[in-house]
Amino acid sequence: FFFFFFAKPSTVMAIDPVNKAKFTEFLTQACAGPMMGLYRSPLLMESIGGNYGSAIRSMLARYFNTVWMNLLQDDDDYVTTIFLEINHRSPVCLIHALFAVAMKVLPTEPIPAVTVDENGNSVPVPIDMMRSIIHAAMQEAIEQVMEEDDILNHVCSGKTLAEERERWAGEGKPEEDFFTFGQPQNNDNNENNDENNDQQ
Judge contact between 88 and 156, C-beta under 8 A. yes
Judge contact between 53 and 111, C-beta under 8 A. no
Mean pLDDT of 172-184: 84
Pick the more confident residue, 200 or 9.
9
Reduced to 3 states (helix: H, G, I; strand: E, B; else coil), residue 179 is strand
The C-alpha atoms of residue 87 and residue 94 are separated, in whole angstroms, by 9
- State pTM to two decimals: 0.78
Task: Give first-to-last CA distance, the chain, whole Å.
Answer: 23
Ordered DSSP codes for 148-178? H--TT-S-B-SPPHHHHHHHHHHTT-----S
- Report the amino acid identity of residue 53: G
The C-alpha atoms of residue 107 and residue 197 are separated, in whole angstroms, by 18
pLDDT digits (tens, 9 = 90+) for 35-83: 998 888 877 766 766 688 888 998 999 999 999 999 999 999 999 999 9
Question: Which of 182, 175, 176 has its CA nearest to residue 198?
Answer: 182
Reduced to 3 states (helix: H, G, I; strand: E, B; else coil), residue 45 is helix
pLDDT digits (tens, 9 = 90+) for 109-155: 888 777 777 777 777 788 888 899 999 999 999 999 988 877 777 77
Ordered DSSP codes for 8-43? ----B-------HHHHHHHHHHHHHHHHHHHHH-TT
- φ and ψ at residue 64, rounded to 5 degrees: -65, -30
Per-residue burial over 75-85, b if 16 or more Cβ lie within 10 Å, else e, is: eeeebbebbee
User: In sequence order, which residues have a C-beta less than 8 Å from that of residue 148 and are 6 or more positions away?
Assistant: none
